[in-house]
Amino acid sequence: MVTDARLINLLANVLFLLAVTALVTGAVVWVAQRPYFAVSRLTIGPMDKGKLEYVSDATLRASIAGRLQGNFFFVDLDEARSVIESTPWVRKAHIRRVWPNTLQVQLEEQQPLAYWNEDEMLNTWGEPFTANEAALPDDVRLPRLSGPDASERLVVQRYAELARWFAPLDIRISEVTLSPRYAWEVTLSDGVHLALGRDPAADVADPHGRSGALPFAARIERFVNAWPALMARLEGRTLDAVDLRYPNGFAMTLAPDSNSQSNNNHDS
């Protein structure tokens, strides 16, 4: 009898505890769902010090309007971050709750490096993204890079190498093109077109490279080192194109002379 009484008492205590827990939980849920705790404020700012250059506060709010509704306690921060990172010019977003009804959003903007293929841009990490070009300042001139799928980082690497080589000559890189056969072509800011062909040192299509061909960097270095002497020899003529695919030199094509309608070809 004593054992039965103890069992009944224990069972009663357990049921009482469960009832209290259910009441407390229900009360907490009821309070948490009150309109006072509905997310009603959204603060937006950069992750680091400074200001947002490309993401407009108004545009971002319009893009996510109606998509971040929820309760302060139950709003899905991962889903909210995904929604915000899908908006133009946003690379990453960090979101946290601020009592009692605010979401604080800190953004990392895309940093545009170049146009990519037909309708995308590349950021400084070599990642493609889509954004409104009208957000760029009027004085920003981005180079145009193009290449096959999944070649973004390789093309950005080559662009960076070219920019370093030509910087001392005060020449920028306007275009870099990697063909489907992984041959390189470059257009300089002065309009000169360079044909470099494949790079035997890092050739995806042909890992062994062409017999006797110089690596990409060696071809550029040879041309850049020869540049001052070339300009002196041209005596005011305009260089139109250079073929750097030769193992022992390169071929130049001059723009038409004012006194001649034909191109002059020279080997160096």
What is the CATH architecture assignment of 112-267? 3-Layer(aba) Sandwich (3.40)
* pLDDT digit string, tens, across residues 217-244: 888 999 999 999 988 888 888 999 999 9
Low-confidence ranges of the chain (pLDDT < 70): 1-5, 7-8, 10-16, 18-37, 67-69, 201-213, 258-268
Domain 37-109 fold: Ubiquitin-like (UB roll) (3.10.20)
Q: Tokens at residue 5, please? A: 């009484």
pLDDT of residue 201: 62
| Residue extents of the structural domains in the chain | 2-32, 37-109, 112-267
| pTM: predicted TM-score of the whole model, two decimal places | 0.76
Q: What is the DSSP code string of 60-83?
A: HHHHHTTTS--BTTT--HHHHHHH
Q: Long-range CB contacts (< 8 A, 24+ apart) of 125-128?
A: 126/152, 126/153, 126/156, 126/157, 127/91, 127/152, 128/152
